[in-house]
Amino acid sequence: MKGAVLTPVGRVVLTEEDGTLVRLSWSDEEADGESPLLSEAAAQIAAYFDRRLTRFELPLATGSGRAALFHKALLAIPFGETRRYGELARGLGIPPQAVGRACGQNPLPILVPCHRVLGATGLGGFSAPGGIETKIALLRHEGALLI
């Protein structure tokens, strides 16, 4: 089931499967239903952008094995803070490039905050529409980027 949410960084579509959010994408896809989970996710996203919520409390599909460990590390980065690719890589015992690839493949951006991960000497990338400008907007929203 899919539900759409308008945000300051564009329209996002949330996909729910078996009571869990499995994807957040910037898309023009049609919403095809409503559920308590999709309604709650929309409410929490609105609260996040209104600065009334700093941590999502939603059932998220975070994968298994290394993917689950990676998502857990992202979820541990507090609102308004950032980490470097290398810092996460050392904590997970993987190369920094693997952290970059995992961020780019994150199926739940915003909810699993890959935008809070920066490169060694700059912002790094962001795979959402708008690319780095969307990442900058999210970091500014959280007060983590003051440029």
CA 93, CA 9: separation in Å to the nearest integer? 33
Which residues are identified as catalytic?
Answer: 114
Residue 78 burial by CB count (10 A; 0-12/13-18/19+): exposed, middle or buried?
Answer: middle
Q: Give the residue among 71, 76, 78 at the shortest CA–CA distance from 24.
A: 71
Q: Tokens 């957040």 label which residue?
A: 24
